[in-house]
Structure 1
Amino acid sequence: MIRRTDDLSLQARARFDAIIDVRSPSEFAHDHIPGAINLPVLDDAERAEVGTVYVQTSKFLARRIGAAKVARNIAAHLDAALGDRDGAFRPLVHCWRGGQRSGAMAAVMDQIGWPVTVLDGGYRTWRRRVQTALYGPADDLTVILLDGGTGSGKTEVLARLADRGVQTLDLEGLARHRGSLFGAWRDRPQPSQALFESRLFTALEALDPARPVVVEAESSRIGARTVPPALWRAMGRASVIELSAPVAARAAFSARAYADIGADPDAVEAVLGRLPPHHSRDTISAWKALARSGATETLAASLIAEHYDPAYRRQSARRDRPLLGRVEMSAVSYPELDRAAGEIADTLSRGEGFCSQRLAP
C-alpha cells in the first residue's frame, strides 16, 4: 500500500531510509531537500522532448513516449542506486507536485514490497515550509554576532566555537562565499537562493532554541545570496562579540586565507575594478600593481587600512547593538584563535557578561 504524507518535520524525515527526488537533474540542482538523492524518472532532455510532443503533436503520444522512458529510467535506478536495498527499505518519494512522476516510482516500489510513502504536494510542500520559517517572525531565535575587521579570523573562531559545543551558524559555508569582494570560492559556484535557504533552514531546525547561536556578522548579502528576513531581523537585534587585531596581523592572515585568489593577478584586478568609485584612479592602479607583483600581504594591508576598516567603522557607527565584549589579539595565529574561541566559549557557557581581554601571543 502506498502511503502519503505532508509531514516534513525533522523527526518525520528521520523515519525514512532515503528521500528520493525523482525530478529532473536541473530541478534538483536548483533546490532540493538537503540529504535527498536524485533519481530522475525523466532527465532534462527527456522531459523537454515529452513536453514538446504533448504541446505540438499528441497528448496520447507524449504519454506513451514518456511512460516508456520512465519505465526504462526506473529500471536503471533499481539495478544501480537501489540495487543493494533490502525489503525493509523505507523511502519517501516526491516530484514537483506529488503527481505522475512520483506516482510512477512509488507504484513500482509498492509492487516490489517496499513500504513507500509519497510526499503530498511534492517539492512545493518543502518550499512552503522553508519560506514560512525564513520569511516569518522567528522571534524565538537568539543570535550573538561575532564581529571584527577584515582578517580578524572570524570564520576560524566560529569553527573553533562549534568544536567546543557552542551553537553556531556558518552562513558563509552555506552560501559558498566568504562575504567580501574577494570572497568567491574558486571553481565552486554559489547555490541558488532557494537552495541556500533550504540549507539554512535545515541548519536552523537542528538548533536548540533555548540556547543562543553565534553567527558571523555579515551584510544582508553574502556574494549573490540574500540573508532571509527572519534571520536578518534576529541578527539586527543581536549582541556583539568583537575580535580585534592590528592591521599588519590581519593582512598576514588575509594573505594566507585568500591565497587562492591572490595567486591569480587577473582575478584580483577584476575585483579591484569593481571597488566603489570614491577610491582614486591612482590608488586602484597602485593596488593592481601590487597584485601583479605578487605582493599580496602589502596589498591586503593597504586594502584593510584604506577600504575595509573605514567601511567597518561606518557600519559600526550606524548599528545600535550591545557590545558583550572585545577579544584583542596581537596576531591572527592559530594558537591565538584557539585561545579566543576558548575564552568566548567559556564565557558563553557561564552565561556571564563578557569582559574585554587581551590574549597574549
Structure 2
Amino acid sequence: MKYPELLSFSDVLPRLAEFDSIIDVRSPGEFTEDHLPHAINCPVLDDEERIRVGTMYKQVNAFEAKKVGAALVAKNIAKHIETHFLDKPKDWMPLIYCWRGGNRSGSMAHILAKIGWPVVQLDGGYKSYRQHVNQYLPEIANTISWRVICGTTGSGKSRLLQTLHKQGAQVLDLEQIAAHKGSVLGGLPDLAQPSQKYFESQIWQTLREFDTKRPVYVESESKKVGNLRVPDQVIQTMRGAPCLALHLTMSDRVELLMQEYAHFVKNPEGLNRQLDCLVSLHGKEKIQQWKQHANEGQMRELVTQLLERHYDPVYIRSIDKNFIQYPQAQTLHLQGISDDDFTTVAKLILSAE
C-alpha cells in the first residue's frame, strides 16, 4: 500500500480491536488530557516544539513555520521508527491520529505506508472521536440497567463493587476512574485526578463494552467525584434506578475506613489540612478538636466523630432526595469486612439477576 487509508471514526469504531497499534501523534500534553482507548503516544512534535512552531505561524509566517516543523517532524518520526516500529512485521496495521487528522498524523501515516505497512489514518482525528463520545455517551447511559449500591460512608460500597467485578458482574467504578474516593477527604496521595475529558472517555469506553441485557452495578455517587463531574445523563439515569442498601456496624465501618485511609493514619498533617475544608460546616473549635485527635493518634475516635457528626447526617439528607427508588431498596447486611463477607453478599446479589 503506497498511501494510508483514510477512515472516519464511525468506520473505525467497529474495528478498533483489529488494529495492532493505535498511535496518537499529538504532543504529550494533549495525550495526557485525553486519548483514544489503548492508544500509545508517539508525538511528532513534543509540547515545546509544538509551541515553537505555533508561535512562528503567528509571529513570522506559515512558510517559515512549516520548514521548521517539517524538520522536527521528520526527526521525531525517524526516532519512533527506530525505537518502536523496526520489529513490526509487514502485516502490522496501525491506526494513526492527531488533533484534526491533518499534517501531524498525515506525515506519520504517509511515511509508514510508504514503508509498506497497511496504515489507517483517522479522518477528523481526535476531534471526531471526542464528538462521538459527547454524542453517544448519553445514549449509552439510557440503555443501561443500573443497580445502585447505597450505604453510609465506610459501609463497604467500593469494596463490594470490586468483589462484584471479581464475581463476573458488570461494574462501573466511578471512583476508580476518577482516582478519588468521592468525599471531602477522598483525594488519593501522590495521584492526581485525570482530566474531565479523560474521565468521560473512560466511562464511555467501559459502558460501550457492557451487555445491555445484564445489570450494571454502580455506587451512589454525588454529581461530582472530587473535581470531576459525572456526565449529566449518567447521573440522571443512575438516580432513577433500583437501589441496594448496604449496612455495616459502626465499629466495622471505622475499621474499614482506617484501612482505606491508611495514608491519613500515617500522615496526620495531611489529614489536618483536609479537615480545614470542613470549618464552614462545623466551626473552628470542632475542627481544632478533631485535629488534636489526629495529632495524638486517636484516629478511631476521630473517624467515629466524623461519621456521626458529618458524613451520616449528609448521607441521610441526600439519599432519599437524590435516589428516588431508595425507599424500596433491598437491604443487605454485611457480617464483617473480610473478603468472605463481601463475597457472600456479592453472590446473594448476583443470584437475583
- Give the TM-score of the pair, scaled to structure 1: 0.93
**Which residue, out of 333, 336, 339, partners 1:334?**
339
* Partners of 1:138 and 1:256 in 2: CA distance: 33
- TM superposition shift of 1:236: 1.2
Deviation at 1:7, TM superposition (A): 3.2
Instruction: Report the aligned-residue RMSD.
Output: 1.5
Aligned to 1:59: 62
Structure 1 alignment gaps of length 5 or more: 349-361
Tell me which moved more, 185-194 or 323-332.
323-332
Q: Where do 1:1-361 residues align within 5 Å? A: 1-8=3-10, 10-136=13-139, 138-275=141-278, 277-318=280-321, 319-322=323-326, 323-348=328-353
Task: For residue 92 of structure 1, report the CA deviation from its aligned partner.
Answer: 0.6
For residues 216 and 13 of structure 1, the distance between their equivalents in structure 2, rounded to whole angstroms, comes to 29
Moved more, 55-64 or 202-211: 55-64
Deviation at 1:60, TM superposition (A): 1.7
Structure 2 gaps of 5+ residues are: none
Structure 1's 95 and 175: CA in aligned 2 closer, same or farther, altered over 3 A?
A: same
CA contact (8 A) 1:134 1:229 kept: no
1:117 is displaced (CA, Å) by 0.7
Kindly indicate whether the alpha-carbon contact (under 8 Å) linking 1:176 and 1:185 is maintained by their aligned counterparts in 2.
yes
Structure 1 residue identity aligned to 2:66? R
Number of equivalenced pairs: 348
Give the drift of 1:115. 0.5
Mapped to 1, the partners of 2:278 and 2:296 lie a distance apart of: 20
For 1:279, give the aligned amino acid.
H
Alignment check: 8 A CA contact 2:169 2:217 kept: yes
How far apart, CA to CA, are the structure 2 residues paired with 1:83 and 1:290?
A: 60
Tell me, yes or no, if the aligned pair for 2:9 and 2:129 is still in contact at 8 Å. Answer: no
Equivalent residue letter for 1:163: K
Per the TM alignment, residue 81 of structure 1 is displaced from its structure 2 partner at its CA by 1.6
Structure with the bigger percentage of helix: 2
Question: How far does the alpha carbon of each residue in 1:111-158 deviate from its partner, in whole angstroms, 9 at most, with x for none?
Answer: 100000110100001101110123457321111101111111111111
TM-score, length of structure 2 as denominator length: 0.95
Distance 1:252 1:139 in 2: 37
Question: What SS is found at the alignment partner of 1:80?
Answer: helix
Residue identity over aligned pairs, in percent, reads 39
Q: Kindly indicate whether the alpha-carbon contact (under 8 Å) linking 1:182 and 1:261 is maintained by their aligned counterparts in 2.
A: no
Deviation at 1:320, TM superposition (A): 2.0
Cα distance between partner residues in 1 of 2:239 and 2:309: 26
Amino acid at match of 1:204: L
Cα deviation, residue 10, structure 1: 4.8
CA contact (8 A) 2:140 2:208 kept: no
